[in-house]
Amino acid sequence: MEAVTDTVELSAQQRLVRESIRDICDGYDDEYWRQKDINQEYPQEFVDDLGAHGWFGILVPEAYGGAGMGTPESVVMMEEIAASGGGFAGAQAVHGGIYNSVPIVRYGSEALKEDLLPRVAAGEAAIQSLGLTEPNAGSDSTSIETRAVRDGDEYVVDGQKIWTSRVDATDYVVVVARTTPRAEVAKPTRGISMFLVDLDAALDAGTLEKRAIPKTASNAVHAFELWFEELRVPEANLIGEEGRGFYQLLDGLNEERIVIAAECLGLGELAIDRGVRYARDREVFGRPIGQNQAIQHPLAEAYARVQAAKAMTYQAADAVEGGDSREVGARANVSKFLAADAAFQAADAAVQTHGGFGVAREYDVERYFREARLTRLVPITQELVLNYVGEKVLDLPKSY
C-alpha cells in the first residue's frame, strides 16, 4: 500500500508509527480478514499482536507505561490498519481499546489510573466497549434513561444499551448513565455520569445480560444489546465528577471523529488499490480494462476525493494540540464527512471496476463497500455533521 498511503508529509514519530504498524499488519493477509468477515469472528490474533507491542497504550501517558503520543500519531495508526487489508472492521476492532482509556486518563482517580492504565498499555486489560446509545437515545445522548442511583459507597445501575461494540472482547465497559433524572436538572446535559464496569463480575453476578445484534457490515466486530438490573458499581469506578459525564464525553469527541476519518481514509485507499490492481490485470477485447476511461475516471476521481479528505484530516489532527476548540470542532466534523463520502465513492468504484466479480467474496471489494456504507452512519451521521457545520461554523439557526 506504500504508493497509495504515503501521500502526506509525516513527522519522524509518525513515520515510526506507520512503519511499526505496517510491519505488524503485514502478517495478516487478505485471506485472514476475509475469513474473519465470513465467519463473523473477532480478529483476536491481530488484536493480541498489537497489544503485545504496546499499541493500546498509544494515548496512555508515559508515567503509566504508555507511549504518551497524541492524535497525529493515532491517525496514522488507524489509517494504516484499515489500508493494510483490515478495512473499517480491522480498525474498529482496536479503536475502542485505544479511545475508551482517554476518559480515565483525563478524569479518572489516581487510584484508577495506577491500577488500570499500565495494564491497558501492556495489552493485559481491555476497555473496548462504551455503553452510551439506547433504543430511545441515539444522536440525542441526553435522552438516555439508564439510571445509576447512589447506595452507600456503590451505585446501582438499571437500564438498557444498544449498539455497544466489542462486548465479547473486553474486560471493562464504560457505561454512561443518569445520576440525576432529566426532569430534575436545569440543562439536559447535566446529571449524566460515567462508570467503569467490570464485565465478568457483572455477568457472574447476573446483573448484566447481553445479546449480539445480527448485522451486515463490519462482521468481525460484534455489536450488542445490554440490560442492567441492579448492577452494583463501586464508587471508586466513577470516572470523573458525578453529573459531568456528558461534558467529559464531549471533551474527546473531536479527536475521535478525526481518527474515524482516518479509518475511512484507509478503507478508501484500500478500495482504490484493489480496483487499480484489477483494472491493470483484467483484459477484455485484448487489452487491460484500465485503459478505458470509463474505468480510469471513477478510480481517479475517488483518489482525488480521498486525498482531499486526507489533507483535511491531517490538518485537523495537527490542530488538536493547543488549537481553538471551535476550529478543531469544525475541522473534525468536516474531516469525518469528507472521508466517509470519499471511502464510499472509492468502494463503489472498486466494485464497479470488478464487474460481476465485485460481489464475489474472494475479491473483497464487496466487503469494503458494505463497510464504507457504514462509515456514513457512525459514529455520527452525515446529516448531523451538516447540522453542526450549519449552526457552529456558518452561524445559521439551530435546525433541530
The pLDDT tens digits of the residues spanning 336-353 come to 999 999 999 999 999 999
Which residues lie across from 212 on neighbouring strands? 224
Q: Return d(Cα 316, Cα 225) in angstroms, integer.
A: 33
Taking residues 293-306, what's their average pLDDT? 98
Q: Return d(Cα 188, Cα 384) in angstroms, integer.
A: 19
- Confidence class for position 7, pLDDT limits 50, 70, 90: confident
> Which among 256, 269, 366, 371 is annotated as catalytic?
256
pTM (two decimals): 0.96
Q: Return d(Cα 49, Cα 52) in angstroms, integer.
A: 5
pLDDT, tens only, 63-116? 999 999 999 999 999 999 999 999 999 999 999 999 999 999 999 999 999 999
| Known catalytic residue at 45 | no
pLDDT the model gives residue 2: 53
pLDDT the model gives residue 198: 98
Question: Who's near 239: CB < 8 A, 6+ residues apart?
Answer: 103, 104, 107, 108, 112, 174, 193, 194, 195, 196, 245, 248
Taking residues 390-397, what's their average pLDDT? 96
pLDDT, tens only, 348-372? 999 999 999 999 999 999 999 999 9
Give yes or no for a cis peptide into 118 (omega within 30° of 0).
Answer: no
Distance of CA 346 to the CA centre of its chain: 19
pLDDT the model gives residue 325: 85
User: Beta strand pairing status for 223-234 and 208-212?
Assistant: antiparallel
User: Beta strand pairing status for 172-178 and 129-131?
Assistant: parallel
The percent of residues above 70 in pLDDT, for the chain, comes to 99
Burial of 216 per CB tally in 10 Å (0-12, 13-18, 19+): exposed
- What CATH number does the domain located at 2-121 have? 1.10.540.10
pLDDT the model gives residue 1: 46
239 contacts 173 by C-beta, under 8 angstroms: no
What sign results for the dihedral spanned by CA atoms 229, 230, 235, 241?
positive
Cell of 151: 447506595
Taking residues 9-33, what's their average pLDDT? 97
Radius of gyration of the chain (CA): 21
pLDDT the model gives residue 391: 96
Please report, for the chain, the start and end positions of each structural domain, with discontinuous segments joined by +.
2-121, 129-244, 249-393
Q: Return d(Cα 92, Cα 30) in angstroms, integer.
A: 17
Mean pLDDT is lowest, of 155-159, 252-256, 376-380, for 252-256
pLDDT, tens only, 153-167? 999 999 999 999 999
pLDDT, tens only, 379-388? 999 999 999 9
Mean pLDDT over all residues of the chain? 96
pLDDT the model gives residue 5: 66
- Confidence class for position 262, pLDDT limits 50, 70, 90: very high
311 contacts 8 by C-beta, under 8 angstroms: yes
Residue 74 to residues 57, 59, 124, 336, 346, Cα–Cα distance (Å) = 10, 8, 20, 15, 23
Could you say which architecture CATH assigns to the domain 249-393? Up-down Bundle (1.20)
CATH of 129-244, one of 2.40.160.20, 2.40.110.10, 3.40.1350.10, 3.40.50.300: 2.40.110.10
The residue type of 303 is Y
Q: Return d(Cα 350, Cα 334) in angstroms, integer.
A: 24
Which residue, chain included where needed, has cell 435546525?
399
- Give the N- to C-terminal CA distance of the chain in Å, as an integer: 42
Burial of 260 per CB tally in 10 Å (0-12, 13-18, 19+): buried
